[in-house]
Structure 1
Amino acid sequence: MGRLRPAVLAGILVLVPVLAGCTAEGGPSSTGTSASVPATGGTMPDAPSTSAPLETTQSSNKAPVYWIGRTGGNVFLYREFRDVPEQENPVTRALRAMMSEKPLDPDFFTPWQNPDKLATSISGKDVITVDVSSDAFNSNLDADMAARAIQQLIYTATAAAASSGLIDTGQQIRVRILVDGHTDYVAFGKVQLGALMTRAAGLVAPVWIIDPQENAEVAAGSVKITGRSTSPGAKLHWQILQSADGGSKAPFLSGETTAATGQGQAGAFTLALNLPPGDYELRVAQAGSGGEPDRNEDTRSFKVR
Structure 2
Amino acid sequence: MPETAAPRRARGAFPGARSAVLAGLLVVVPVLAGCIADPGPTPTGTLSSSPAGPGNTSGAPSTSAPLETTQSSNKAPVYWIGRSDSNVFLYREFRDVPEQENPVTRALRAMMSDKPLDPDFFTPWQNPSQLATSISGKDVITVDVSEDAFNSNLDADMAARAVQQLVYTATAAAASSGLIDSGQQIRVRILVDGHTDYVAFNHVQLGSLMARTSGLVAPVWIIDPQEDVEVADGSVKITGRSTVAGGKLRWQILRSEDNGNKTPFLTGETTAAADPAQAGVFTLALTLPAGDFELRVAQASSPEGPEGGSEDTRSFRVR
TM-score normalised by L of structure 2: 0.86
Q: Secondary structure at the match of 2:284?
A: strand
The answer to whether the 8 Å contact 1:16/1:37 transfers is no
Q: 1:40 to 1:289 in 2, by over 3 A?
A: closer
C-alpha distance in structure 2 between counterparts of 1:153 and 1:231, whole Å: 24
Deviation beyond 4 Å, 4+ runs, structure 1? 36-41, 292-295
Q: How many residues align?
A: 293
What is residue 36 of structure 2 aligned with on the other side? Answer: 27
What is residue 62 of structure 2 aligned with on the other side? Answer: 49
Q: What's the C-alpha RMSD, in Å, of the aligned pairs?
A: 2.4
Deviation at 1:256, TM superposition (A): 0.8
Pair 1:245-2:258 in alignment? yes
Pair 1:14-2:26 in alignment? yes
Q: Secondary structure at the match of 2:278?
A: coil
C-alpha distance in structure 2 between counterparts of 1:220 and 1:176, whole Å: 45
- 5+ long unaligned stretches in structure 1: none
Deviation at 1:58, TM superposition (A): 1.0
Greater mean alpha carbon deviation, residues 232-241 or residues 51-60: 51-60
Question: Aligned match of 1:131 in 112, 134, 144?
Answer: 144
Deviation at 1:37, TM superposition (A): 5.4
TM-score normalised by L of structure 1: 0.90
Deviation at 1:9, TM superposition (A): 4.5
Q: 1:238 to 1:51 in 2, by over 3 A?
A: same
State, as a whole percentage, how many aligned pairs show the same letter.
Answer: 74
Question: Aligned match of 2:168 in 155, 160, 163?
Answer: 155
Q: 1:7 to 1:280 in 2, by over 3 A?
A: farther
Deviation at 1:219, TM superposition (A): 2.7
C-alpha distance in structure 2 between counterparts of 1:51 and 1:74, whole Å: 18
The answer to whether the 8 Å contact 1:16/1:148 transfers is no
Deviation at 1:288, TM superposition (A): 5.2
Deviation at 1:263, TM superposition (A): 1.7
C-alpha distance in structure 1 between counterparts of 2:113 and 2:67, whole Å: 23
> Which amino acid in 1 is paired with 2:40?
T
Pair 1:299-2:308 in alignment? no
What is residue 220 of structure 1 aligned with on the other side? Answer: 233
The answer to whether the 8 Å contact 1:72/1:297 transfers is no
Deviation at 1:48, TM superposition (A): 7.2
- 5+ long unaligned stretches in structure 2: 1-16
C-alpha distance in structure 2 between counterparts of 1:113 and 1:246, whole Å: 38
What is residue 277 of structure 1 aligned with on the other side? Answer: 290
What is residue 259 of structure 1 aligned with on the other side? Answer: 272
C-alpha distance in structure 2 between counterparts of 1:231 and 1:59, whole Å: 27
> Which amino acid in 1 is paired with 2:151?
N
What is residue 129 of structure 2 aligned with on the other side? Answer: 116
C-alpha distance in structure 2 between counterparts of 1:297 and 1:209, whole Å: 9
C-alpha distance in structure 1 between counterparts of 2:111 and 2:167, whole Å: 11
> Which amino acid in 2 is paired with 1:208?
W
> Which amino acid in 2 is paired with 1:254?
T
Deviation at 1:73, TM superposition (A): 2.6
Q: Deviations over 1:123-179 (max 9, x none)?
A: 111100000000000000000000000000000000000010000111110000000
Deviation at 1:59, TM superposition (A): 1.3
Deviation at 1:218, TM superposition (A): 1.3
